């Protein structure tokens, strides 16, 4: 479930925080996608239709990892 979204206009990165899995960065996102996302009646449906599997995605590099190091 999506907890919050943010957008870095300078780098064209959409930041999505998911409640269960943490923060992900979606690269090369046009500002129009972010604006439409904000106005969408269902964030989950919008994400699945227009973002997921359409843009390069990375996990938040500042995410703290717990447990043994591999």
pLDDT at position 20: 84
Residue-wise burial string across 44-64, b where 16 or more C-beta atoms lie within 10 A, e elsewhere: eebbeeebeeebeeeeeeeee
The neighbour count for residue 17, using CB atoms within 10 Å, is 14
Nearest to 21 by CA among 52, 45, 55, 54: 52
Report how far residue 20's alpha carbon sits from residue 3's, in angstroms, rounded to the nearest whole number: 9
Report how far residue 51's alpha carbon sits from residue 31's, in angstroms, rounded to the nearest whole number: 12
Q: Please write the tens of the pLDDT for every residue from 31-64.
A: 999 999 999 999 999 999 999 999 999 998 776 6
pLDDT at position 70: 46
Q: Where are the domains of the chain?
A: 2-59
Average pLDDT over residues 8-33: 94
pLDDT at position 60: 83
pLDDT at position 58: 94
Average pLDDT over residues 13-27: 93
């Amino acid at each position: 479930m999506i907890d919050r979204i943010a957008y870095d206009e300078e780098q064209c990165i959409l930041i999505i925080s998911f409640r269960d899995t943490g923060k992900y960065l979606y690269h090369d996102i046009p500002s129009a996608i972010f604006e439409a996302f904000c106005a969408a009646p269902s964030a989950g449906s919008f994400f699945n239709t227009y973002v997921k599997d359409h843009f390069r995605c990375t996990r938040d590099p500042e995410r703290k990892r717990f447990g043994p190091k591999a």
